[in-house]
């Protein structure tokens, strides 16, 4: 028995112990039925009395057989509407409403691009950036060309105020690109961490991270001199099809995630497949459905690596569509297995 099975079994047992016994439950149902019956009779009596007082005797006339029934006075509808509505059950044969099934189509999204490049650099310069996307935030990592005197620089651009790990830090106010900025210093071995961040424009925060190889003034000068750019985010996979209407939410060397569906594709180290396998393109894989969603695991024996595709449970999806989606994923030169 799996951990999920045990959790479900324990939940059902707990609710069964808390439920009332059958006799008390049946008596409560009968008593509620008698109360609702009395309410309906009282409501009908009130309507009839109102009609008699207002001269509604004509309404009691019976229409000729086969002819249309006379329309009730306007007051009848509002009076009967105040009576308790009977409880109704779903129409037999009609399925309850559920989320729309996940559909796949040709990729239609544009690859995000990183909007800046440093002009002023540490000693020795910086290598070409590696641009990734994580939860909507773009990150460009620039490695130092001079490993002794230079410094790595990481620049982040995203829609949210930068957040940091808890712990002591010294902050000072700065001016960057004509905007108020904060310089944050964390004392740590072997080199202090420096972070400079500011709101470039509404909805766009910029953060520059490096170490104390740069002075505070040098870091501010680097940030001040950032120039416009359009550096594309790396993509570890090429897709034949993607979730319909999808946009990229995350793209690193080992993971791609789409929004709003939450579908993720991850490249991991080689793992043995367990259970019955199915063909997935030229590879073999497994398809599993659990309470959290559907998972396709594909053994890429010639890499070697494992491709894992996950679809959240809120999106119904067939095994055939899952396999078609996974079979249409190819690795690029940027792909590296993650943990």
Encode 215-229: b = buried (16+ Cβ within 10 Å), e = exposed: eeebbbebbbebeee
pLDDT for the residue numbered 173: 98
pLDDT for the residue numbered 72: 41
Q: Distances from the Cα of 143 to the Cαs of 155, 215, 279, in angstroms?
A: 11, 18, 41
234 with 253: CB under 8 angstroms? Answer: yes
Q: Distances from the Cα of 57 to the Cαs of 41, 47, 51, 71, 81, in angstroms?
A: 20, 12, 7, 13, 21
pLDDT for the residue numbered 116: 98
CATH number assigned to the domain covering 113-232: 3.40.1000
pLDDT for the residue numbered 101: 83
pLDDT in tens, the chain (339 residues): 443 344 334 434 433 444 444 444 444 434 544 544 444 443 434 433 333 334 433 333 333 344 433 444 443 333 333 333 333 344 444 444 456 789 999 998 889 999 999 999 999 999 999 999 999 999 999 999 999 999 999 999 999 999 999 889 999 999 999 999 999 999 999 999 999 999 999 999 999 999 999 999 999 999 999 999 999 999 999 999 999 989 999 999 999 999 999 999 999 999 999 999 999 999 999 999 999 999 999 999 999 999 999 999 999 999 999 999 999 999 999 999 998
What are the residue boundaries of the structural domains of the chain, listed by start? 113-232, 237-331
Cross-strand partners of 247: 259
pLDDT for the residue numbered 19: 44
87 with 205: CB under 8 angstroms? Answer: no
Cross-strand partners of 141: 130, 154
pLDDT for the residue numbered 100: 77
Alpha carbon of residue 207 to chain centroid: 25
Alpha carbon of residue 232 to chain centroid: 24
How many CA atoms lie less than 13 Å away from 24 in the CB half-sphere? Answer: 3
């Amino acid at each position: 028995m799996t951990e999920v099975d045990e959790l479900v079994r324990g939940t059902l047992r707990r609710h069964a112990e808390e439920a009332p016994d059958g006799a008390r439950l049946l008596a409560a149902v009968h008593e509620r039925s008698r109360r609702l019956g009395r309410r309906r009779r009282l409501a009908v009596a009130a309507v009839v009395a109102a009609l008699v007082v207002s001269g509604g005797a004509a309404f009691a006339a019976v229409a000729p057989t086969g002819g249309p029934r006379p329309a009730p006075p306007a007051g009848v509808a509002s009076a009967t509407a105040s009576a308790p509505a009977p409880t109704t059950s779903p129409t037999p044969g009609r399925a309850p409403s559920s989320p729309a099934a996940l559909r796949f189509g040709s990729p239609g999204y544009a690859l995000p691009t990183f909007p800046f490049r440093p002009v002023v650099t540490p000693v020795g310069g910086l290598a070409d950036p590696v641009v990734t996307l994580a939860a909507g935030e773009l990150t460009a990592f620039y490695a130092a060309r001079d490993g002794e005197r230079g410094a790595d620089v990481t620049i982040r651009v995203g829609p949210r105020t930068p957040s940091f790990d808890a712990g002591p830090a010294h902050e000072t106010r700065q001016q960057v690109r004509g905007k108020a900025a904060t310089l944050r210093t964390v004392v740590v071995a072997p080199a202090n961490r420096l972070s400079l961040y500011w709101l470039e424009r509404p909805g766009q925060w910029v953060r520059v991270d490096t170490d104390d190889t740069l002075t505070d003034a040098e870091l501010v000068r680097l940030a001040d001199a950032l120039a416009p750019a359009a550096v594309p985010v790396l993509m570890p996979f090429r897709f034949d099809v993607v979730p319909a209407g999808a946009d990229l939410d995350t793209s690193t060397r080992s993971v791609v995630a789409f929004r709003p569906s939450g579908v993720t594709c991850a490249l991991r180290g080689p793992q043995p497949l367990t259970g019955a396998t199915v063909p997935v393109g030229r590879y073999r894989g497994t398809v599993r459905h659990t309470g959290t969603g559907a998972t396709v695991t594909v053994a890429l024996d010639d890499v070697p690596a494992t491709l894992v595709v996950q679809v959240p449970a809120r999106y119904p999806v067939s095994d055939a569509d899952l396999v078609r989606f996974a079979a249409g994923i190819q690795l690029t030169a940027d792909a590296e297995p993650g943990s």
